[in-house]
Chains A and B, each alone.
Chain A
């Protein structure tokens, strides 16, 4: 693998995405909503023990959970499938580049662009908090932004996996929207429903939650922002008591890292094994 080729493809991918109207629209929506969240958060008083950066970060969690997985999944889903569909991948591979350079260059390019978008949202809200003079612990705010970036990395990898399996971009988008509904919209409901139907114990409920990257992000973010882990409910209390506050934090980070690496490597394996005529 030639690092220079990866960086070239990454730069091309990022430049192309930054000019994409859907991406611009997404960034504008995310940033506007982040600003609104900031205004709502600062208009309230000391909500659930959060102040300043902490309160804004807590308010941003739900926004991140809704927006970041959607854009990461769909961007990843389109990435390879659309290039296969319109023939640009085949043309690119007629030049002296390898499939692995194309794959990792595309992934990094798209990830940087999504991170850029997240940074704008968190940046606007952060500057707002700073100008409002509320202050607070900025490090936890930055860790929440970092967790959002990890969530994007993991679901972008899932999107790439879907894309590697799909010959058509439209089908890949369909699967990605379904996964977004499954992970994010139905995440809590799914856990509640499964718990009731199967009469699960608290340990099983925790395991079920940890299987969902959205839930992992949510739990980790709340633990970062609040000293009161009781707000996570009985499962949160159980988790902290079982693994310790630091332990559960490292566990959640590790799961996020696994959710990033495993789908990405699986996607790479599928992509690298595609017969050339399928590209």
Chain B
């Protein structure tokens, strides 16, 4: 569906995207990972035809340089920080619906789908960050495009807004649409992506299935378990003897450092041994630790 071939983009002397080649198949969700300045947003903007570049990019066979209007009509785009005209929410959706030649009934549908129906008479400047993100998603969905491009769409959202937004994208993906998105967060990649591409200094340096990304890099997550105080010592011995060396006490519970793909294993072990697990939380590895791990693996 999306073919990127030998794309290079420089800003003055800075090489932002360095001869990148990638393909995204129809119905596939692909995540672009990488630290700030890795070239993710630049690559997405090249695909959208918002930047000049060398190389070839096609969307459903249409070259974005030769046939930009047709190619763009196939893409719904959610920018990192969406900026809208200072007009009513409903009016801005109506404007883009007209640009995309979409029937009026679709306006109500996308406003309802994104939970913006009750805010449709508000000016776009009155909307919160989460609502603005949902508005750009509503606009992206207007013409039911086969491709959705999201540029770090949850970077400015609070936890609840992020969860709501990811649920929306997930349902869109389940309809069989193609999704290409950039992200800083591994949990988003786990939830949405079929493939993860890691970028550094404008190049794709690693490609993996999300579930294997942590495993192949030996990434560890930190799990915090809340268990009854009288069970802490027994639980610790059980886990240490059961092959979980990274266990430490933490107040009324335990902290366990474990490979990303084995996060449920210590919880199962404790429950099977009759120890009550009252609560748990997972600290995902940060993008910085992922970068370090990738460098340590010699990529």
Query: Which A residues lie at the B interface, using CB under 8 A?
Result: 5, 8, 12, 15-16, 19, 86-88, 90-91, 93-98, 275-277, 279
Q: Which one of B46-54, B187-195, B231-239 contacts A?
A: B46-54
Tell me the minimal C-beta distance from B156 to chain A in angstroms: 14
Tell me which of A5, A91, A277 contacts B82 (CB under 8 A). Answer: A91
Write the nearest CB–CB distance from A101 to chain B, whole angstroms. Answer: 9
Residue pair B87, A15 in contact (C-beta under 8 Å): yes
Residue contact A95 to B85, C-beta cutoff 8 Å: no
Q: Are B50 and A94 in contact (CB under 8 A)?
A: yes
Determine the distance from Cα of A35 to Cα of B68 in the docked complex, in whole angstroms.
Answer: 51
- Residues in B with CB closer than 8 Å to A15 are 87, 91
- Indicate whether B269 reaches chain A with its CB closer than 8 angstroms: no
How many residues of B are counted as interface, with CB atoms below 8 angstroms from the partner's CB atoms? 27
Q: Which of A8, A88, A96 has the most CB of B within 10 A?
A: A96
Q: Is the CB of A87 within 8 A of B87?
A: no
A254 vs B49: C-alpha distance when bound (angstroms): 40
CA–CA, A19 to B85, complex, Å? 12
Please, which residues of chain A bring their CB within 8 A of the CB of B86?
Answer: 16
Distance, CA A156 to CA B75, complexed state (A): 34
In the complex, whether B96 has a CB less than 8 A from a CB of chain A is: yes
Give bound CA distance, A185 to B77, whole Å: 47
Provide 14 A-B residue pairs closer than 8 Å at the C-beta atoms, listed in order of the A residue: A12-B85, A12-B87, A15-B91, A90-B50, A91-B82, A91-B83, A94-B48, A94-B50, A96-B68, A96-B69, A96-B73, A276-B51, A277-B11, A277-B52
Separation of A8 and B85 alpha carbons in the complex (Å): 14
Question: Once bound together, how far apart are the Cα atoms of A91 and B75, in whole Å?
Answer: 13
What chain B residues lie within 8 Å of A88 (beta carbons)?
83-85
B75-97: CB near A (< 8 Å → 1, else 0) gives 10101011111110001000110
On whether the beta carbons of A98 and B95 are closer than 8 Å, the reply is: no
Contact (Cβ within 8 A) B91 A96? no
Complex: how many Å from CA A219 to CA B227? 91
| Contact status B100-A95, CB under 8 Å | yes
Cβ-closest chain B residue relative to A20: B86
Q: A94-B49, A276-B52 are in contact. List 5 more A-B contacts (CB 8 A).
A: A8-B95, A8-B98, A91-B83, A93-B49, A277-B51
**Is B81 a contact partner of A94 (Cβ separation < 8 A)?**
no
A86: chain B residues within 8 A (beta carbon): 83
Please indicate the chain A residues that have their CB under 8 angstroms from the CB of B96 in the complex: 95
Contact indicator B99/A5 (Cβ below 8 Å): yes
Shortest Cβ gap from A28 to chain B (Å): 20
Chain B residue contacts of A97, Cβ below 8 A = 69, 99
Cα separation A149 to B82 with both chains bound (whole Å): 36
A8 to B51, CA, bound (A): 24
Is the CB of B72 closer than 8 A to any CB of chain A? Answer: yes
Chain A contacts of B98 at CB under 8 A? 8
B 44-65 to A, binary, CB cutoff 8 A, 1 in contact else 0: 0000111110000000000000
| Bound CA–CA A5/B98 (angstroms) | 8
